[in-house]
Amino acid sequence: MTVRIATWNINSVTARLPKLLEWLESAKPDVLCLQELKCAADAFPYEEVRALGYETEAHGNGRWNGVAIVSRLGFQDVVRDLPEQPGYLADDALVPVIEPRAIAATCGPVRVWSVYVPNGREVGHAHFRYKLDWLATLRESVLADAAGERPFAVLGDFNVAPTDEDVYDLADFEGATHVTPVERAALAALREAGLADVMPRPLKYDRPYTYWDYRQLAFPKNRGMRIDLVYGNAAFEAAVTDSYVDREARKGKGTSDHTPVVVDLNL
């Protein structure tokens, strides 16, 4: 059985709906993890996606976050939010807010989490501490699935570039988030929990970035970052036959500033 699984920070599913439907028709993933929906769960375009043969489980509140899983393999054991997920206490808030940043489901033979890791904003900011706490909770949340024999992966926008090679110029990120040792240590902790970084293979570009800013011609100049990742357990990694970054989906007008990462499995 061949299964195609993908992840994509869509940067507003409403604004990118034509792009999403076009990509589903052309790439034909069996499971697609989406992040940054920017819509409430009840406002997700379920019917448009269903017309292409997919069902959706969405988790969003209409703000800038939100996650979903789109599947034509069905759904079982859907979970919204990480167990004991930390909340973010904004400067003007009295209580922490649990943001919709994680959703999990078993789709056919594979279990997946779609995650949208907090950005962190600035080193030393309360949001940066929140990001590290969130990643630590993610690690604890996936331990059981990572150790199992069922193919399992955490896919999404991690807002961390794992290595220096995953940013176009490290000097431009000096003192900034996404590249700090403590953030990278959080990803290393995920790997130590039994998950491997499934890199695009074979490398069709010297640096397979997944995100390019809209400003300053970042995409034409390939000034990007690899922050959309697939972390799979041993059973998942062993089944991988191909993986790639779909740069074509980033081209043209009206696109997300991220592009899909696709993994093919033979199960």
Residues recognised as catalytic:
116, 157, 258
- Is 178 labeled as ligand-binding? no
- Is 257 labeled as ligand-binding? yes
The structure tokens listed for 13 are 């599913």
Chain-centre distance for alpha carbon 154: 8
The structure tokens listed for 33 are 């993890």
Contact between residue 150 and residue 28 where contact means Cβ atoms under 8 Å apart? no
- Is 157 labeled as ligand-binding? yes
- Is 9 labeled as ligand-binding? yes
Query: 211-212 and 31-35: which strand pairing?
Result: unpaired
- Is 266 labeled as ligand-binding? no
The structure tokens listed for 81 are 């939010």
Of 43, 84, 86, 37, residue with least CA distance to 63 = 37
- Is 36 labeled as ligand-binding? yes
Residue type (1 letter), 127: H
Of 108, 27, 44, 35, residue with least CA distance to 72 = 108
Computed on alpha carbons and rounded to an integer, the radius of gyration of the chain in Å comes to 17
Task: Characterize 8-38 residue by residue with b for buried, 16 or more Cβ atoms within 10 angstroms of its Cβ, and e for exposed.
Answer: bbbbebeebeebbbebbeebebbbbbbbbbb
Residues annotated within a binding site for Mg(2+): 9, 36, 157, 159, 257-258
Residues annotated within a binding site: 9, 36, 157, 159, 257-258
